[in-house]
Amino acid sequence: MSETLSVTGLVATTPRHLVTQDGLPITSFRLASSQRRFDRTQNKWIDGETNWFTVTAFRQLAINSAGSINKGDRLVVAGKLRVRDWDNGERAGTSVEVEADSLGHDLTWGSSVFTRTVLVRE
């Protein structure tokens, strides 16, 4: 079973869009998810710590994301979690990635005008 999760947060970098030599469109950006929690000593909701993710989209979702998403936007993302160790010879670390199955602008924070581009599968 792969770990599926949903993440809401703020787009923290300008989305990067590329097409591989095989013709696969990919869009990726960093997402900051700040967690609100109820503080019982203060009796109010406060900002908790922030989870940082690299969000990656492929194919049609990559194309539409590249054309619709800007740094500073608020999103809701559903996808699969990938935790990977990396080592480039000079440095090593851990990357935390969400491979998006779906994503959209979070209407908690604004309104959106939607234009359908995909007409298949219905």
Site for its own copies, rule CB under 8 A: 1-8, 10, 33, 35-38, 40, 43, 47-49, 51-53, 57, 60-61, 64-65, 67-69, 73-78, 81-85, 93-96, 101-118, 121-122
What are residue 7's DSSP bridge partners? 77
Q: Is 21 or 111 the residue whose CB approaches its own copies more closely?
A: 111
What are residue 86's DSSP bridge partners? 93
Q: How far is residue 12's CA from residue 4's CA, in Å, rounded to a whole number?
A: 22
Q: Is 21 or 94 the residue whose CB approaches its own copies more closely?
A: 94
Side chain identity at 56, as an amino acid letter?
Answer: T
| Least distance (Å) between residue 58 CB and its own copies | 10
| Least distance (Å) between residue 16 CB and its own copies | 16
- DSSP letter, residue 90: S
Q: Is 13 or 48 the residue whose CB approaches its own copies more closely?
A: 48
| Least distance (Å) between residue 18 CB and its own copies | 17
Is residue 81 within 8 A of residue 96, CB to CB? The reply is yes
Is residue 120 within 8 A of residue 84, CB to CB? The reply is no
